[in-house]
Structure 1
Amino acid sequence: MIRTFAFDVGETLVRDDRYWGSWAGWLNVPPHTVSALVGAVVARGQDNAEALRLIRPGIDLDAAYHAREEAGRGEYLDETDLYEDVRPALSALRQSGARVIIAGNQTVKAAALLRALDLPADLVATSGEWETAKPSPAFYDRLIAEAGVAAHEILYIGDHPQNDCFPARTAGLRTAHLRRGPWGHLWADDPTVVDVADHRINSLMDLVPLALQ
């Protein structure tokens, strides 16, 4: 029985358009350039931050992040960044009696922005707050502790196999791979994902029947 549904953030709940578009503006390149390079590094199996290093070799990403914040061009989220199925799916899961957790690889500021959206969730947390990031086992250990249930009673939902499905399965959680965003589409039918994911979904609404089982 699944008692807790835990969600990744980027390209699971929130579109990354604004995030990458803001970096394109900061680096003074067309948004398409950033998007294409993100796709290229994804296909190579590299971290998506490598796209920015291809544009500006040697860039100090931490320093650039803080410079953007100081210039008033930093992180921002509003309702338009959410995928359309997020509120109805999370609401339905909570109404079924399941616990809903949002936990992904984001900054401390992103956690505050997510909470400001007042999503139907019991807990919102980020790697910046927990000081450990996916795919580290410590991230999933913290998630299990916060859920307060056995690992096999938690379903982790995400688009990125290497950060979501594989490490969550290793930690004993059930997993759902979401065909959404570049990572989700690229690896949706990969044999290793098919083998590891307990569920393969195209919409967050596909989760609602699982809460009723």
Structure 2
Amino acid sequence: MIRAVVFDIGETLIDDTRGWHQWADWLGVPRHTLSALVGAVVAQGRDNAEALQLVRPGFDLAAERRARRHAGHIEQILESDLYPDVRPALAELRKAGLWVGAAGNQTAAAAEQLRALDLPVDAIATSGEWGVAKPDPRFFERLISWAPAEPDQIVYVGDHPANDVGPALAAGLRVAHLRRGPFGYLWADDPSARAATWRIDRLTDLPALLTTSYQPEVE
């Protein structure tokens, strides 16, 4: 039975378009150029942040984030960054009695921004707060100790086969692969994505799938 659902954040709950545009503006390249480079590294199975290193060799993500903050560019996640199906899906899962969380590879500041949106979730956490990032198995060990359920009662929902599907399955979780974002679309038919327990196109597909597997405890 399913008792908890935990969502990846980038390109699962959040549309990363505005964030990539801000990086393009910061680096002084056309937005289309950076988007094309992101597509190129994704097609090669590489981390999408490597696109920034193609623009600026030796790029240090942590240092550049500090420089942006110093220049007054405060990290923000806005209501408009949420995909339209996010609030309806989260609300319906909680209404069904499932524990709902969000945990992904973001900064501690991003976690605070997400909490400020008052999403219908029970908890939010990020790699910046936990000190470990996907696909490191320790991220999912931390997730299992965080969510109030046994591993096989937890569903992890994400778009990235290598960061989400594979390591979550290896940790004993069930997984819903979301066909969304560059990784979600490009690798949708790869065996790494097809290994997921469920494969979905919209978050609003989840409640019907998962609530049939959910049975409340008998008092």
Deviations 1:121-171 (A, max 9, x none): 001000000001111111101111111211000000000000000000000
What amino acid sits opposite 2:66 in the alignment?
H
- For 1:202 and 1:169, how far apart are their aligned partners in 2? 20
Runs of 4+ in structure 1 deviating by more than 2 angstroms, as ranges, are: none
- For 2:184 and 2:174, how far apart are their aligned partners in 1? 17
What is the RMSD of the two structures over their aligned residues, measured on CA atoms? 0.8
- For 1:154 and 1:50, how far apart are their aligned partners in 2? 31
Deviation at 1:193, TM superposition (A): 1.8
Q: Which residue of structure 2 lines up, in the alignment, with residue 153 of structure 1?
A: 153
Deviations 1:1-35 (A, max 9, x none): 11101000000000001111000000011111111
| 8 Å CA contact retained: 2:162, 2:192 | no
User: Are 1:67 and 2:75 matched, yes or no?
Assistant: no
**Equivalent residue of 1:155, what SS?**
strand
Q: TM-score, normalised by structure 2?
A: 0.95
Deviation at 1:54, TM superposition (A): 0.3
List gaps (5 residues or longer) in structure 1. Answer: none
Deviation at 1:179, TM superposition (A): 0.4
Q: Which residue of structure 1 lines up, in the alignment, with residue 35 of structure 2?
A: 35
Q: Which residue of structure 1 lines up, in the alignment, with residue 24 of structure 2?
A: 24
User: Are 1:173 and 2:166 matched, yes or no?
Assistant: no
- For 2:60 and 2:196, how far apart are their aligned partners in 1? 35
- For 1:75 and 1:173, how far apart are their aligned partners in 2? 31
Deviation at 1:210, TM superposition (A): 2.5
User: Are 1:210 and 2:209 matched, yes or no?
Assistant: yes
Deviation at 1:192, TM superposition (A): 3.1
| 8 Å CA contact retained: 1:161, 1:193 | yes
Percent identical across equivalent pairs? 60
Q: Which residue of structure 2 lines up, in the alignment, with residue 137 of structure 1?
A: 137
Q: Greater shift after overlay, 174-183 or 184-193? A: 184-193
| 8 Å CA contact retained: 1:4, 1:98 | yes
Q: TM-score, normalised by structure 1?
A: 0.97
- For 1:190 and 1:61, how far apart are their aligned partners in 2? 29
Deviations 1:163-186 (A, max 9, x none): 000000000000010000000000
| 8 Å CA contact retained: 1:2, 1:210 | no
Q: How many correspondences in the alignment?
A: 212
Deviation at 1:60, TM superposition (A): 2.1
List gaps (5 residues or longer) in structure 2. Answer: 213-219
| 8 Å CA contact retained: 1:94, 1:120 | yes
